[in-house]
Every structure is written in structure tokens, then in C-alpha cells.
Chains A and B, each alone.
Chain A
Amino acid sequence: NAGVTQTPKFRVLKTGQSMTLLCAQDMNHEYMYWYRQDPGMGLRLIHYSVGEGTTAKGEVPDGYNVSRLKKQNFLLGLESAAPSQTSVYFCASSNLRGGPTDTQYFGPGTRLTVL
């Protein structure tokens, strides 16, 4: 099992450009999450999904959109990137039995810089 994978690993954008981060998991997990990690801020939840076709806002959703068209994939989109979105983005998943507050499995992260 690959677990949780993220694409790309690194990306540099100019202000106003758009991009999509892809998260894939092969554990058949129902729940998936997108976090951002900034120095001294810990992890903050951007959006999450409790199943295929569903999404919900987290703590810091502004400037981001998400889609969960397939159970194994969770996409995070930035429509018009801003320097404040420079961060490391992590995707995670958890299974139905434990629920969203049980063990989460993390991807390796995407380091995004917006100039």
C-alpha cells in the first residue's frame, strides 16, 4: 500500500495563478482532510470530506476549493493564489470505523510558494 500520496511535492506560483493539489489514498478511507502548516501555527484544517461527493469547510477555508469526485481522491484548488497561501499543505485520511477524530494518516506534503 502506498498509503496517502500527494502531487506535486513542490510548486512555485505567481500571485493570481491557479493550481490544483491532488491527494490520493489507497486505504479505502471514508474521511479525507486538507491542512496547511505554517511556522509556529501548527496544522490548520482547510476543508474536509466525510465521503465521496461531500465536502465541508474547516478552520481556514477562504481562498480554497475542494472536490471529492472519487472516494480515493481529494483535490484542493487555489483559484487565484496569494502570497499568504505560501505554506506546506498536508492531506490526511481516516477510516469509517474510527471516524474523523480517530487516527489520521498523512501524506508527505506539498510545499507551495506564492511569489
Chain B
Amino acid sequence: SQQGEEDPQALSIQEGENATMNCSYKTSINNLQWYRQNSGRGLVHLILIRSNEREKHSGRLRVTLDTSKKSSSLLITASRAADTASYFCATDDRGAQKLVFGQGTRLTINP
């Protein structure tokens, strides 16, 4: 069964707007990661947040983690056309030696 599930499945916004996507998971985790996948390409790591962290920033990206709600959000500020991609969250569960990926959010930035 999927550990992480993204919401929404698809999101379309205008360039310059902020994009928010969410990830929910089921079991306790050590860390949660976000990856980006451009069409026809492999996944690229964006950011990792550990279970003892609540918020993390990287450039225009802001990730939050709420372990009590078992959820995370990825905020992309001042979106650009180049941000058009699918975004995946990935979680481990404590004791498991592998990541489990969600189904992804497909983000489209309209010029």
C-alpha cells in the first residue's frame, strides 16, 4: 500500500502565483523527501525534512512537516514556467530500509 499520498493529483496555476501541494502518510517516519520529475526525465531530489524538523526552506521552496497529522506540504513561491513538472513525496517507515513514493502531483504553470 502507498505510504505517501499527494493532493491534489493535478494543479494548474498562472505564472507568478504560489503552488501548494500536500502529502499524507500512514506510519511513523524518520524523514520525508520531495522530488521533481520533468516530463520524460528521472526524478530529481528537492528537499529532505527530518521527523524532528517542522519547516525547511530551499530557494523558492518551503516544506513543512506535521508529524501529529502525518502530513507535509510543499510550497513553491513565485512560480515559473520551468516549475511545470510532477512532484512526488517519498517516505520511509521506521525500520524499513527503503523509500515509498506517492503517486505525485502534476503541476502546470501557465504563462
Contacts and interface: CB of A to CB of B under 8 A. Distances in A.
Interface footprint category on B: 20 to 34
B88 A42 contact: yes
A99 B96 CA distance: 11
> Interface residues of B: mostly helix, strand, loop or mixed?
loop
A58 to B, nearest CB: 7
A42 B3 CA distance: 11
Interface residues of A, number: 25
Interface string B82-99: 000000101010001111
Interface of B: 2, 30-31, 33, 35, 40-45, 48, 88, 90, 92, 96-104
A103 B44 contact: no
Contact of A108 (B41, B92, B99): B41
20 contacts: A42-B2, A42-B88, A42-B102, A42-B104, A43-B88, A43-B101, A44-B101, A45-B98, A48-B98, A58-B98, A100-B97, A101-B31, A101-B98, A104-B43, A104-B90, A104-B99, A105-B45, A106-B43, A108-B42, A109-B41
A72 B107 CA distance: 34
Contacts of B96: 101
A102 interface: yes
A90 interface: yes
Contact of B99 (A90, A101, A109): A101
Contacts of B43: 43, 90, 92, 104, 106
Contacts of B45: 103-105
A4 B90 CA distance: 19
A42 B60 CA distance: 25
